[in-house]
Structure 1
């Protein structure tokens, strides 16, 4: 995942360290960084963030309401009160008044920004070959992933017209072995798959120089803001320009 971030964010320093204070100090002293963005920083108490951005999966906001390991939550829902902005991810575009009311009860007046994952294209792993999404239409494919919610990935493929003849689901952040891949490709080929598709997060954990028995692509996804674009621009301004809290209008990616 850090490699994927670095590849997609040229010019941005990406550091990995269990000690975030140490990593942040290194980023400032070695690279001259003036803004630090932490992944999963909401629970990292040794560093006090100026802004807390909380992402809530709209398809499964709080699971069964319990903390790990009984549930999926890392903190109680009431800790939403510490959020500066709340992002509702994986939205289908329809408002969810009940969810929004719950967020407002814990953090009255907080800005809620709604966004959706949008498939963009297929990128072949290890090869400079890009295919449009129409390449999936009426094609028999195999799908495999090692992410937290493989159902959403598979749903996108089916929505794009693919017939999934095999699906393999591994644990989140799973490191594939040669045996895993051999079994996955053999099963797909036996089932008549024309090619396989995985996620970009999984693709970066593969050896791009490796040859595969069938073509292998990853589904490139991007985030589209559905609601709250102005609030998002304000959030970016507050992070990058804390002295003024504003800047010239910034073009937003669609």
Structure 2
């Protein structure tokens, strides 16, 4: 799959050969969405506002840092947010309420990372409506953030937010399997807010991802990222777009050997056994899967999203104007 996804960001003979399948997929996507819009397929509504955070691309665009930012902003604005997710890679049983001590094999790496970083309630279930019901039955939440729920049309939504990759944008602009798109680009005209990660896009709020401190997996010690300069390093990333993490380290002045893994990779100790004992820097998403065999040489880099306060104000205003019973 990875070799194909690398070809989605330019047009080639292979992607042109796949284009007819892309058009078939486009028709299915549009018919499905139309079915929910016309009532032929039934949406399920929850008794509190639902904020969808998603994308139209396959692969990483920066949704998780944005979800963390949004949950914190809503909490600081007086709301009690809860988060629901599909829990990709988790085996359940579903619905599954994520705990600090949960394992990524149960709930997926991203939901576990979000809960560990925020402390807010997170429930995973492939059925997002059922996840929302379970969350509300067990937690005093008054707003739900649905992580990666844009295409889960069965769940009714009040606000839709799409995160765009400001570097790669929409690749070759083809839908699956000829390109990286889950839905056509014109879908962006129908959502409430656009967020562009590390770039600019018309009508989008810019999001920049920042990191300044590394945390040791074994001891929890903190260390300035700059302190790793001028020494050999290993950089590990098993995320949707590993080059984004590597570029962040390069911009911090670090030199390192790159080790890319597939998104949601289930790490084994052998994956991080290298020929030397140089420090290993990894993403926080990778760290949740490596704690069980962590060594003193392993460090992870928490990422913080930086966005304009105006976006928070606009989202809160829209929430205040909603009518939920």
For normalisation by structure 2, the TM-score amounts to 0.62
For 1:217, the equivalent position in structure 2 comes to 299
TM-aligned CA deviation for residue 234 of structure 1? 1.6
- Measured in 1, the distance between the counterparts of 2:111 and 2:294 equals 24
- Measured in 2, the distance between the counterparts of 1:197 and 1:220 equals 11
- Measured in 1, the distance between the counterparts of 2:148 and 2:260 equals 24
- Measured in 1, the distance between the counterparts of 2:289 and 2:317 equals 33
- Measured in 1, the distance between the counterparts of 2:316 and 2:150 equals 17
Determine if the alignment matches structure 1 residue 34 to structure 2 residue 122: no
Unaligned runs of 5+ in 1: 101-110, 245-254
- Measured in 1, the distance between the counterparts of 2:157 and 2:128 equals 12
TM-aligned CA deviation for residue 243 of structure 1? 4.8
**Does the aligned pair in 1 maintain the 2:235–2:281 contact within 8 Å?**
yes
TM-aligned CA deviation for residue 137 of structure 1? 1.6
Out of 118, 131, 146, the position equivalent to 1:9 is 118
**Does the aligned pair in 2 maintain the 1:136–1:160 contact within 8 Å?**
no
Determine if the alignment matches structure 1 residue 231 to structure 2 residue 311: yes
> 1 or 2 for the larger relative contact order (CA 8 Å, sep ≥6)?
2
TM-aligned CA deviation for residue 114 of structure 1? 0.8
TM-aligned CA deviation for residue 237 of structure 1? 4.1
- Measured in 2, the distance between the counterparts of 1:16 and 1:243 equals 26
For 1:140, the equivalent position in structure 2 comes to 232
- Measured in 1, the distance between the counterparts of 2:164 and 2:139 equals 32
**Does the aligned pair in 2 maintain the 1:126–1:209 contact within 8 Å?**
no
**Does the aligned pair in 2 maintain the 1:113–1:232 contact within 8 Å?**
no
**Does the aligned pair in 1 maintain the 2:267–2:289 contact within 8 Å?**
yes
The CA RMSD over aligned residues, in Å, is 1.8
TM-aligned CA deviation for residue 84 of structure 1? 0.1
For 2:41, the equivalent position in structure 1 comes to none
- Measured in 1, the distance between the counterparts of 2:194 and 2:219 equals 38
Displaced runs of 4 or more, over 6 A: none
Q: Secondary structure at the match of 1:186?
A: coil
- Measured in 2, the distance between the counterparts of 1:211 and 1:62 equals 36
For 1:78, the equivalent position in structure 2 comes to 186
**Does the aligned pair in 2 maintain the 1:120–1:222 contact within 8 Å?**
no
**Does the aligned pair in 1 maintain the 2:163–2:196 contact within 8 Å?**
yes
TM-aligned CA deviation for residue 22 of structure 1? 0.6
Structure number with the higher helix fraction is 2
**Does the aligned pair in 2 maintain the 1:122–1:130 contact within 8 Å?**
yes
For 1:47, the equivalent position in structure 2 comes to 155
TM-aligned CA deviation for residue 120 of structure 1? 2.4
Within a 5 Å distance, the mapping from 1:9-158 to structure 2 comes to 9-10=118-119, 12-91=120-199, 96=200, 99-100=201-202, 111-158=203-250
**Does the aligned pair in 1 maintain the 2:217–2:294 contact within 8 Å?**
no
Q: Would you say how many aligned residue pairs link Structure 1 and Structure 2? A: 214
